[in-house]
Every structure is written in structure tokens, then in C-alpha cells.
Chains A and B, each alone.
Chain A
């Protein structure tokens, strides 16, 4: 019978060790609920260890459990290195089980000193990574203010009665969303066929169903959204750790915490954003003395701002630190043979080079960044979400990293346009004005200018850019009537030139097919109510392209 218990112990602890691994990974990913599960696992091992006569394991589990208990009660906090230390403790538990010979009811043998020391070392390593939250008046007031703001924001968009919540697995939500999207398409196919067959009688009923289907789809999309603030907690902690490590003073600000983003996007955003935030804290903000000497406030500022615009999510990581000198980048690039000595790329293109693998300006490799393997991974991660990332900087004043993600599952309101044979959807929120004009001379290159209110705007001729073999009613020759759509993004104005514009509508933007993924200026595609497909324009990217007059330095 004791054999049975020992066997049960072996199999149970194996399961528990697996469960611990998952819980630790969840904790690291920001899932703070996992701490209860981890606490229970350790508690169970403690109990079972006592039952099968493993006092050393029982004591270790108890000590480990005590630390977790403190975190649960808010008396201690995990730091970024804690998860590695937690996993080391988990391995330590596994080794204690392997080394011991459990026997039910065995007299407890005093563990030897070397053994106790190795137990203590594992726990001390964990302690070293944990922090005690500062509990002073300013912290409390800040916390209260945040809470008040959260309540105010929540109250704005919702009814007075607090909403009950239901837990739904994300995969299920995705399925529901898929079905509702297919209903919209199937319905429009049906409508088209019905009309083609000459049926006019059921118009009213069909319109009612179409409206319901659209509402269903929109509601499901909204269900998948979570506020950006939910993933942003780790960033403040990271900044705190690094500033303490480096002896700098940094204030961290989060703007746009209530901005809604798709949950799956949110999860994948954490890593790349964390890297960019760490970069800003580690390389951006100078020590207080250096800042004072430069006439700056000794406390540096890192701001994380999230905003939705034109069917994209834009996240800016701004710091007011040393900035990056493009000349240094240029010198390093020439030295490595990345660009020729005679080439004169502009600042934007130079900053783009920072995202290439192995390209690092940092002389010192710190604990957090600077190994030259960071930014290219960030670009890849963001690219995998069909997003873009770029850096702007003014040496001496600071830098801004800008991450843009197409909100592939968002509803966009805009108007239809045709250019170069393609059906496009231009989102409203970046559009300022729209006007007709007549071509003078042939429209050849996509990069041109167009006069507007006494100025010359940089413009992109989408007909020339996309040229799928089609043109507007007026052709492209001299005198052809074209339409210019004026866009505004972060203070810059540019224009898109198309052949014609049409109705306004809202549509759900979906991610692009692999084949089209590299198309310049396209954020995604959308299926309209009648089943036809339009390409949704990425207005911010187009504005950038117009200003540069081209895409980027060609890859070697």
C-alpha cells in the first residue's frame, strides 16, 4: 500500500511540475492570475512531501510558498528576472524529488549542511529578483487617481449598471467571428443571385437580415477587444528596474490605455514593445548630471502612447534622452559596407538601417539591450502582425519609436475610390479634403506634387503606383480628370491621386493574403455588402512614402 502512495506521489508531482512551468510562463507573459495556481502547486507539493516523508522538500516548498504568499498579498513584487529564478526553483524541486527516496512514515533525517545551502541559494536567487513596492503617499495618490480615471473612462462608454462578465475561450470567439463573417458574405451572394434572377419581392426582408448580420459581425469584433492598458503594466516595471540599475531618474507615462485592440494582437505586442521601452530606458535617458548639463530636467521622460487612426493602431514610444545621431549610423554603415561612401540616404532611411540584423551602435552591451540582436527581432515580430516600425530622433533631444499595426479586425469608415484598375477604400479619419482637377501633361511617375490652397502638396498618383491596367473615365492623358484626396498625418499633408471616388461606407478590415502582403500602402482588404472586395489603404504609410518620394533604400 505504501508502494501505491509513492507511485501516486511520483506521478502527481510530475504533473504538478508541468503545471508549474505553464503557470510561470503565464506569469511572465503578464497573466497575474497564474500566481494563485503556482501557489497551490507549491502548497500541494509541500503537503505531499510531508506525507511521503521528504522533510527537505517540505521545508523548501514551505519557504518558496512563503515568498509567493507575500507577492499575492502585495507585500512584494516580481521583477523581470524573477521568472527565471522561479523556474530555477522549480528545477530544484524536481532534483530534490529525484535525489530522495520517499518512504511513507520514515523518520525524518536531518538534511546535511551542503544540501541546505543549495536550497537556500535557490531561494536567495529568487529574493534577489523581487522588489518591495514603495508604499508612500505619492504612490497611493497616483493609484487612486488612476482608479478614478479608469472609472471615469469606463463610465463614459457604458451604461450605468456594471456589466457582468463571462469567460469565453479566445478560440471560441474566433470561431464565432468566422461564422458571422461568412454569414455576411453568404448573404450578399444570395442577394446578388436573387436580384440577378429577377426577384424583387423580398427586398425588405433581405435588407433586415443584412443589417442583422452586419450588427452581429461588428459585435463579435468588439468582443475580442481589450484595452491597451491591460498589457501595459509590465512596461512601467521594466523602466523602473532599468532606471534603478543605471542610476537614472525616469518618469513613465502611459497615454491611450483605454484604446481597444484585438486580444491576439495584444499578446504578441508585449515582447517587441518591451524591447523598445527597454531601449529607451537603457540607451535613451542620460544620467541626471548629464541631463542638467544639457539644460534638461534631471528626470527623464518615457511616454508610451497608443492611438487608433485610419484602421491602424499606432503606438509611440517617446523618450527625451540623448537621441540618435544619424551621422553615426551613416559612418557605421559605410564602415560595414552596407552603403557606399557616395550614397546620401536621408535620416529616415538611416534610422531604418537600425532594424537590420547585427546592426548595433551601442558600445556597451548592457543587461537589457544593445547586443545588436534586438531591433531586427522587433521588426520581424511586428512584421509578422503585418505592422511596421520605424524610429525618429533628434540628437540631444530624444527619440521616438513608432509601431503601426493594421487593426485587421477593425471596422473602418471611409469611401470607395478607383485607381489603376483597383477598387480601394480610403479611411475617413485621415482625410481632410477632396477635389477634382485636370491633368496637365501625362501622369507617369507615382511621385509628384499637386497644388492646393496656394501650396504644393507632395502626392502619390495611385493610378501610376498600382497600375493594374485600367484608368478612370478620363484616361491618363493631358486634360484627364482626376481626383486628389488630401490626407493629414501628424501634421503633414499629402495627397492621393485617384481616378474617381464613390460612395461612403463602413467595412470590416481583414488581413491581407500572403501574396499581397508587401503591397505598398495597403492595410488590408474588406468585403463589401455586395460581396465585392476592396483594398483598404494604409494612409499613414502612404503619407510617409509621399514625403520620401520613394519606399526605402533597396535591400542588398
Chain B
């Protein structure tokens, strides 16, 4: 898959592990150590196609960061990563606008599936990424095998 993914987590071990899984999928990854850093990166011009966001972080925190991402860039899918998959958490994340939740430590197959579905969501319009109107990755993506049926 051809895409740019932003991994946000305060734990270096978690970032390294997810990065390694994503690299195996051929995806280009960038890291942020906190919600604040992630927001600053995107505001500064970095345009990911997808964000993996850890829920428990000091400072701004996962849910708050999620809300801000969704408010500022509504078409940017955010997949929340958390070690706790309680129903209450799912509901909260969905309500805040999260695209999906993945359990930590992330099973590579589940990550691949989540990434594919998230990118697919953007597919048909040829990309309205964070920088507005750009989104080279989506339009260059081979369309074979990733139809709306997913």
C-alpha cells in the first residue's frame, strides 16, 4: 500500500513495534510522541493519510487529541490504539469521531486490514488530505483489489 501514516504514542516501544508492522506493509511512517506534537506536525504541513493514535498519553491525552484531529481535518481517518478494549472505550472513541479501534499489541493482520479500510474510505474522491485538495497517495494508488465492497 502506498500511504503516509502518522503514529502517535508516548511509548517508544509501542511506536517502534507499530512502525515495524507498517513498514512491512510498504507504508511510510512518521512518529509523534504526543498529541501536541501530532497536531503541530499536521498544522505545520505534514499530510498523512491516516493516523494511529494511542489513547493513554500524558498532556493532551488520546481522546482530546482525537477530537481536535476530527474537528480540524474531518476526512483524516484516525485509528485509536489501546491496550484496553472495553465497550465503554469503543463507544467513547466512536462518539469522538474515531474511525476504528485496534488492540495493543497490534496483530499485523488486523493492522493491515484497518489500514486498508481507512485508506479505502478516502479512495473514490482521490484524496482530500489535511492540506486540502492534495493527497497524491490516494490518486496514485492502484485500484485493483480494493473496491468499495471492503
Please list the residues of chain A having a beta carbon within 8 angstroms of any beta carbon in chain B.
Answer: 1, 4-5, 8-9, 12, 37, 39-40, 43-44, 46-48, 50-52, 104
Contact = CB atoms under 8 A, between A and B. Distances in A.
Closest 7 pairs (CB-CB, A-B): A48-B13, A50-B105, A51-B105, A47-B83, A51-B17, A8-B12, A47-B104
B76 to A, nearest CB: 24
Contacts of B83: 43, 46-47, 50
A5 B56 contact: no
A5 B13 contact: yes
Contact of A47 (B14, B20, B58): B14
B17 A40 contact: no
Interface in B33-67: 56-58
B116 interface: no
B16 A8 contact: yes
Tell which of A37, A46, A47, A51 has the most Cβ of chain B within 10 Å.
Answer: A47
B31 interface: no
Contacts of B20: 1, 5
Contact of B104 (A1, A4, A51, A52): A51
A11 B14 CA distance: 13
Nearest to A104: B17
A104 B12 CA distance: 14
Tell which of B13, B16, B58, B84 has the most Cβ of chain A within 10 Å.
Answer: B13
Interface residues of B, number: 15
B143 to A, nearest CB: 32
Contacts, number: 45
Give the dominant DSSP class at A's interface.
Answer: helix
B12 A12 contact: yes
B11 interface: yes
Contacts of B14: 44, 47-48, 51
A447 B21 CA distance: 86
Contacts of A1: 20
Contacts of A4: 16
Given A1-B20, A43-B83, A46-B83, A51 B13 contact: yes
B16 A44 contact: no
Nearest to A53: B105
Contact of B11 (A39, A48, A104): A48
Nearest to A2: B20
A51 B11 CA distance: 11
A8 B9 CA distance: 14
Nearest to B18: A51
Contacts of A40: 56-58
A38 to B, nearest CB: 11
Nearest to B82: A47
A62 to B, nearest CB: 8
Interface in B1-35: 10-14, 16-17, 20
A8 B58 contact: no
Contact of A50 (B12, B56, B104): B104
A44 B56 contact: yes
A5 B14 CA distance: 9
Contacts of A46: 83
A50 B17 CA distance: 11
28 contacts: A1-B20, A4-B16, A5-B13, A5-B16, A5-B20, A8-B12, A8-B13, A8-B16, A12-B11, A12-B12, A12-B13, A37-B58, A39-B56, A43-B56, A43-B83, A43-B84, A44-B10, A44-B14, A44-B56, A46-B83, A47-B11, A47-B13, A47-B14, A50-B83, A50-B104, A50-B105, A51-B104, A51-B105
A52 B58 contact: no
Nearest to A43: B56
A123 B56 CA distance: 23
A43 B86 CA distance: 14
Contacts of B84: 43
Contacts of B13: 5, 8-9, 12, 47-48, 51-52
B113 to A, nearest CB: 19
Contact of A44 (B11, B17, B105): B11
A50 B11 CA distance: 13
A184 B101 CA distance: 60
A11 to B, nearest CB: 8
Nearest to A48: B13
Nearest to B57: A40
